[in-house]
Amino acid sequence: MGMKKKVCYCFGIPITQREYHQYGVDVFKARGYEVYCLDLSLLVSEVLMRTYDPPQRYAGKEMTTVSTWDQAAAFLKSRRDSLAIVTFGLNQATEPFYRLLKEEGMEYAQYAADATPLVSFWSRAVSTLRRWDVARWKDAFLYHKKRFLYHAIPPAALDLSSPRYLLAGGRRYPLYGLRPDSKTIIVRAHSMDYDRYLEQRRTGGSQKGRPYGVFLDEYAPYHPEGGAEKEKQLDAQSYYRTLNVFFKYLEDSFGVSMVVAAHPRSRYDLSPDCFEGRRCELGRTVDLVADAEFVATHGSVAVSFAVLYEKPLLFVTSDDFNRSRVGDMIRATAKIFRQKPINMDTAPSTSTVPVLEVHKPSYRSYKEDFIKESGTPDKPFWEIVADAFEAASR
């Protein structure tokens, strides 16, 4: 491949100012690349976009937003000499985009980092049958059928092109897009959270004062991408009431205060006091985890920070979660760490105190599988990617 000093980021959801920089745009600009950004969210995330507009949405001169596939085709045709960097996965909504890439003969790099443990079809089936929930059995079958069709069938059978690059993070990197072929260059980097870990190690100082535990918020009742799922929407009032009772239970059990690491897309400025006066911080998850006594989570991808800093983890479920796919996902992640999730609906009424421990073999395995493989460069993700692009063009 000849040197392409042009890259085109393709986004499936709107990005914020902060995410714009986290995606390494500045890295490519510093190396002399022309950088374009294509926002396809109105086409591939239609349900989400009915109600969602992110805070501090990036709308710089590099960003073009399209609302029809004809507009998307025209954009790609005029930039067919660019290398596309695809940040979303292949599904029914995004398939037309991958077809456009092939029609224009455009090479692309498929993002494949930030993996989380998957729930196997059979685990989900057993969980569903235990409740004799026919609707969930059908949902599980269709969910995995779609994954099989798009990620197990060779790209040629779908008349689509395999990626030129696969930007992998961890040993068990996810095949969000099409399967790689023999010509695909697998760029072995790490998760994006590892970038923030590197930054915190370099610039962050300990701010430890009164002992605290940190909760990795997922903005569960309001999460913008939750609206696109078929799960029943959580009742916000009930969820936060139960969560605060659970926080009090943890505070009494361990003699700490609970601090909330707000989800990056949360808008607690638009919501009432969800955490009853507890400290809630946005954009400081890695710093909060670094100095915490332990980390409580439903199963956020940010468990990576707890693994990297070797903090005890508590996995938190609920009766509502256990009636949905979310409960299956929480159990799958907790199992990796040899834990059973704590039900926040029932735990506060017991006299049992959760056990705080770090099973180091499990932490090492999780790091290798989902964060960073041993031997990969200890430098920012997009620097590794840019190095790979340039090495392949020599």
**Per-position DSSP letters for 275-319, written without gaps between them:** TTT--EEES-HHHHHHH-S-EEESS-TTHHHHHHTT--EEEEE-H
CA separation for the pair 148, 325 (Å, rounded): 18
Q: What is the pLDDT of residue 128?
A: 47
Q: What is the pTM of this model?
A: 0.87
Q: Which helix (H) or strand (E) holds 296?
A: strand 295-297
Give the mean pLDDT of 179-188: 92
Q: Topology of domain 6-190+373-393, per CATH?
A: Rossmann fold (3.40.50)
Span of 152-166, 250-264, 325-339 with lowest mean pLDDT: 152-166
| Residue scoring higher pLDDT (298 or 159) | 298
β-partners of residue 296 are 215, 314
pLDDT at 133 over 60: no
Q: What are phi and psi of 81, to 5 degrees?
A: -90, 5
pLDDT at 119 over 70: no
Residue 130, CA distances (Å) to 175, 287, 321 in order = 30, 41, 15
pLDDT per residue over 186-232, tens digit each?
999 999 999 999 999 888 766 668 999 999 999 988 766 554 444 45
Q: What is the pLDDT of residue 53?
A: 74
What does the CA dihedral 280, 285, 287, 293 come to, rounded to 10 degrees? 80
pLDDT at 262 over 80: yes
Q: What is the pLDDT of residue 121?
A: 42
CA separation for the pair 394, 392 (Å, rounded): 6
Task: Give me the chain's average pLDDT, please.
Answer: 87
Q: What is the pLDDT of residue 338?
A: 94
Q: Which helix (H) or strand (E) holds 125?
A: helix 121-130
Span of 81-90, 136-145, 305-314 with lowest mean pLDDT: 136-145
DSSP SS3 for 262: strand
Q: What is the pLDDT of residue 1?
A: 44
pLDDT at 130 over 80: no
Counting DSSP H helices and E strands in the chain, the numbers are 16, 13
DSSP SS3 for 40: coil
β-partners of residue 109 are 85, 165
Give the mean pLDDT of 353-377: 95
DSSP assigned state of 369: I
DSSP H helices, 119-270, are 121-130, 134-151, 192-203, 236-254
Q: Which helix (H) or strand (E) holds 10?
A: strand 6-11
Q: Which helix (H) or strand (E) holds 343?
A: strand 342-343
Give the mean pLDDT of 355-359: 95
pLDDT per residue over 38-63, tens digit each?
999 999 998 777 777 777 789 889 99
Q: What is the pLDDT of residue 149?
A: 61
pLDDT per residue over 280-330, tens digit each?
999 999 999 999 999 999 999 999 999 999 999 999 999 999 988 888 889
β-partners of residue 295 are 214, 313
β-partners of residue 187 are 167
Chain-centroid distance, C-alpha 136:
24
Other beta carbons within 10 Å of 146: 13
Q: Outline which parts of the chain fall under CATH 3.40.50.2000.
A: 208-371
**218 Cβ neighbours under 8 A, 6+ residues apart:** 263, 298, 300
pLDDT at 125 over 50: no
Chain-centroid distance, C-alpha 67:
25
pLDDT at 380 over 90: yes
Q: What is the pLDDT of residue 305?
A: 97
Please state the CATH superfamily assignment of the domain spanning residues 208-371 in this structure.
Glycogen Phosphorylase B; (3.40.50.2000)
**Nearest by Cα to 285 from 314, 258, 261:** 261
Q: What is the pLDDT of residue 140?
A: 52
